[in-house]
Structure 1
Amino acid sequence: MQPTPSPRRVLVTGGASGLGAALAARFAARGDRVLVTDVAPQADVPAGAAYQRLDITSEDDWAAARDRVRAAFGGLDVLVNNAGIAAGGRIDRLGADHWRRVLDVNVLGAVTGCRTFVPMLKEQGSGHLVNVASAAGLVHPPAMTSYDAGKAAVVALSESLRWELTPWGIDVSVVCPSFFRTNLAASLGGDDPMMDTVATRLIEGSKLGADEIAERVVRAVDAKRFLIMPDRNARLAFWTKRLARPLYDRQMLRMGTRIHAAEQQA
């Protein structure tokens, strides 16, 4: 028989729905003590979990979450920076406000979470940062510049923190799934309706759901893996870019050519 894993203290952002809710449920089912956070005033949470409103763009909200964790848990073992928004669009269709919103949420939200909790983890001499990025942080399809750039920044943040924090006994993981069924498409900003339609179709057409991705992610976190690519499509895209670059380049150019043709016909 496998030994029963010891319970951990876990905070999950964006935990009211989608992958965040699925991750919170998996951690809770494992026996972990979970604080679920989201921008919603209140949300359903798994049995045994607690909830707190947290806008990841707010320093004050992060400080309140840290105080709650310290008072209720006495520390933190796993911080899951999951909250984020979908984004897409051709570069000439995306204004400055779009870029600020995407980078503020998808990059600085995770950065602020790490800045808030790393001092606590250093005090403990242990902990695990889990930053949810995307396969778009590793491979960079056309007409997704803001999303690609933001998720690539999260990958870079995670790798840098890995080397910085390992001597303190702190583990780091970065999660890079490809498209899977979730409500992420609801956060698309509408700056480029044609590309929003494409993204929505890819999300809704995936064979994998959030529960399956969450199960694989939690197993990988248990194993303390750094780069977590929880589905075949993500791994295939990553290794094609690494090992078969001419094929990868042709695939990306083919996508760009299709977008050009669609724009010409519009």
Structure 2
Amino acid sequence: MSSTSTAPSAPRVLVTGAARGLGAALAAAWEERGAVVLRTDRDDAAVGQGVHRLDVTSEADWSAVRDHVESTWGGLDVLVNNAGVAGGGRLDVATIAEWQRLVEINLLGAVRGTATFTPLLKRQRSGRIVNVASLAGLVHPAGMAAYNATKAAVVALTETTGHELAGYGVTAHVVCPSYFRTGLMDGAEGTDTALTGVVTQLVENARLGPDEIASAVLAGLDAGDELILPDPDARAAYGLKRSDRAGYDRTMRAQAAKLAALTHHEETR
């Protein structure tokens, strides 16, 4: 990547958590459109192999990446806060330490990225902030309180960002996919191993992969959507909640009862 400070004509995109999964797919999708992309990740094995070091929990790393972007490109067109981890667990099983880990990465990682680049975006009076949340930020299944809460907070952060920066020509967009095939569960940690097994199966058996989700994300951005539901399952679940709250509650509580039975079976085998 060039060290010149001349801004390229191609869109300038920064993607966090881009070593694999949806982050890598989003980076590739933008590159296919001719964008210049800074892939970032905390994975030491990926750093130096086309990936720039960025641990989203480190303010020093964020400052270093901002300095790199300014000296290399002179500005930024799209910030994609994608990095996140899986986790959660039933209310009486998950620990406070597990909650804190999810808050630190899933929520405060996006907060740090937004806060770091907002001054630059305001100065140039243009740009997009894209936060990857989850359908769990809109639809809240049992057994996932910590994950649901952090992703719902990312939805709220995005809406607030859009309101606050609209006067500067900056837009904010939140992506809320349902389960799709990804390596997210590889890094899942937590004491509720029964729940982890259930969610892992849902991810592994999902119909769509990261490339299909990435394509739908870019299509949503092309359309100017502030809330991007990139798959049919996400649109159906959120649609049910909005149109039939009583039916949604019945469905979610039936799933909660099923989860209780499954996890009880796993724990007593």
For the criterion TM > 0.5, the same-fold answer is: yes
CA distance, structure 2, for counterparts of residue 223 and residue 249 of structure 1: 31
Q: Cα distance, 1:225 vs. partner?
A: 1.3
CA distance, structure 2, for counterparts of residue 168 and residue 124 of structure 1: 8
CA distance, structure 1, for counterparts of residue 152 and residue 217 of structure 2: 19
Give TM-score, length-normalised by structure 1: 0.94
Q: Which moved more, 1:184-193 or 1:204-213?
A: 184-193
Equivalent residue number for residue 46 of structure 2: 43
Deviations 1:119-171 (A, max 9, x none): 00000000000000000000100000000000000000001111111111001
1:125 pairs with 2:125:
yes
| Contact 2:240/2:248 (<8 A) preserved | yes
2:254 is paired with a residue whose SS is helix
Q: Cα distance, 1:77 vs. partner?
A: 0.3
Aligned amino acid, residue 196 of structure 2: D
Deviations 1:15-70 (A, max 9, x none): 00000000000011110010000002352899xxx531100000000000000000
Would you identify which runs of 4 or more consecutive aligned residues in structure 1 move more than 2 Å? 41-46, 259-266
CA distance, structure 1, for counterparts of residue 259 and residue 160 of structure 2: 34
1:250 is paired with a residue whose SS is helix
1:192 pairs with 2:192:
yes
Unpaired runs of 5+ in structure 1? 1-5
2:92 is paired with a residue whose SS is helix
| Contact 2:21/2:210 (<8 A) preserved | yes
CA distance, structure 1, for counterparts of residue 211 and residue 67 of structure 2: 30
Aligned amino acid, residue 85 of structure 1: V
| Contact 1:16/1:45 (<8 A) preserved | no
Q: Cα distance, 1:246 vs. partner?
A: 1.4
Give TM-score, length-normalised by structure 2: 0.93
| Contact 2:94/2:190 (<8 A) preserved | no
Aligned amino acid, residue 180 of structure 2: F
Equivalent residue number for residue 6 of structure 2: none
CA distance, structure 1, for counterparts of residue 129 and residue 260 of structure 2: 40
1:241 pairs with 2:241:
yes
Equivalent residue number for residue 25 of structure 2: 22
| Contact 2:41/2:47 (<8 A) preserved | no
| Contact 2:177/2:230 (<8 A) preserved | yes
| Contact 2:179/2:203 (<8 A) preserved | yes
Deviations 1:58-110 (A, max 9, x none): 00000000000001111000000000001131111111110110000000000
CA distance, structure 1, for counterparts of residue 195 and residue 112 of structure 2: 30
| Contact 1:42/1:52 (<8 A) preserved | no
Q: Cα distance, 1:7 vs. partner?
A: 2.1
1:173-184 counterparts in 2 under 5 A? 173-184=173-184
Equivalent residue number for residue 3 of structure 2: none
CA distance, structure 1, for counterparts of residue 69 and residue 41 of structure 2: 15
CA distance, structure 1, for counterparts of residue 118 and residue 197 of structure 2: 39
CA distance, structure 2, for counterparts of residue 264 and residue 131 of structure 1: 35
| Contact 1:180/1:204 (<8 A) preserved | yes
CA distance, structure 2, for counterparts of residue 190 and residue 41 of structure 1: 23
